[in-house]
Amino acid sequence: MTRKLILATVLMLSITMVSCSTKPQDTTSSDSNTTTNSNSNTTVEQNEDSNSSSKTQNDTSTSKEEAKVNKIKLSIYTIDENSLEPNQSSTIEVNESLSLKDKLKELSKAVSEKKFNNLSIEVKSIDTVKGKKVATINLTDSGTNKWVTKFQGSTGGAVTANTLIESFLQSNNKSRGEWIDGVKFLYNNETIEYDHVADLSTIQYRN
């Protein structure tokens, strides 16, 4: 009887020890998984922070580059019909780094839109004449003669001629930077032979 009691006691102790040794292992495994997940989340957050920081730096760099682009203002003139004196009516901004010809192209587009109902104004060339830079500007209308109406009448012709000459020479614009010294106009690639706009057929120089 005593032997049976001893065996039963030993068996109970063995079961208790096995149970105690198994439980801590499960806890350790759970803690390990939690730590791994925590480390993984931290890595993702760090990557997101890194990407966000990189994007912010790129945006800042782009803004600085845009801020470095210098602009100059070019004037567009309206001619008073009574005094025939030029008055600045508007301005446009162009990049200072553009070539002189490209600046003239930007100006010709604006003059066409604002003063001549989008009639074509082409910058043909910039040539050196007696040591001075002279631009040749071609007024074109594909044979529709729309420019001809702008050449008619003593007042109308004078307004057309002076608007073109003053706008392209920029004589009163001191912030224009490098610019042409003179300008000459053609009509459909030929010399302009209309009495009221005779000044357009010869080189006009800046004052």
Q: What is the mean pLDDT of residues 49-54?
A: 57
**Do residues 119 and 146 touch, judged by C-beta distance below 8 A?**
yes
pLDDT value of residue 48: 58
* DSSP E strand stretches across the chain: 71-79, 86-95, 120-129, 132-140, 182-187, 190-191, 204-205
Instruction: Please give the biggest Cα pair distance in the chain.
Output: 144
- Cα 50 from Cα 115, distance rounded (Å): 53
pLDDT in tens, 68-101: 679 999 999 999 999 999 999 999 999 999 999 9
C-alpha–C-alpha distance, residues 95 and 74, integer Å? 11
- In this prediction, residue 92 carries a pLDDT of 97
Give whole-number Cα distances, 192 to 42, 136, 178, 183, 195, in Å. Answer: 77, 12, 28, 13, 9
pLDDT beyond 80 at 190? yes
Torsion-angle region of 104 (φ positive above 0: left; ψ -120 to 50: alpha; else: beta): alpha
Judged by average pLDDT, the poorest of 24-33, 51-60, 118-127 is 24-33
List the structure tokens of 72: 């100059």
Domain boundaries, the chain: 71-205
Q: What's residue 69's pLDDT?
A: 78
**Coil, strand or helix: which one is 127?**
strand
What is the rounded average pLDDT of the residues 22-37?
46
Residue 147 scores a pLDDT above 90 = yes
Residue 28 reports pLDDT greater than 50: no
Q: What percent of the chain stands above pLDDT 70?
A: 67
Q: Tell me if residue 88 falls in helix, strand or coil.
A: strand
As a whole number of angstroms, the distance between CA 8 and CA 17 comes to 14
* pTM > 0.75: yes or no: no
pLDDT digits (tens, 9 = 90+) for 155-186: 999 999 999 999 999 998 988 889 999 999 99
Report pLDDT for 20: 42
Q: How many CB atoms lie within 10 A of CB 85?
A: 11
Query: Mean pLDDT over residues 132-159, rounded?
Result: 95
Contact 168, 107 (CB under 8 A): yes
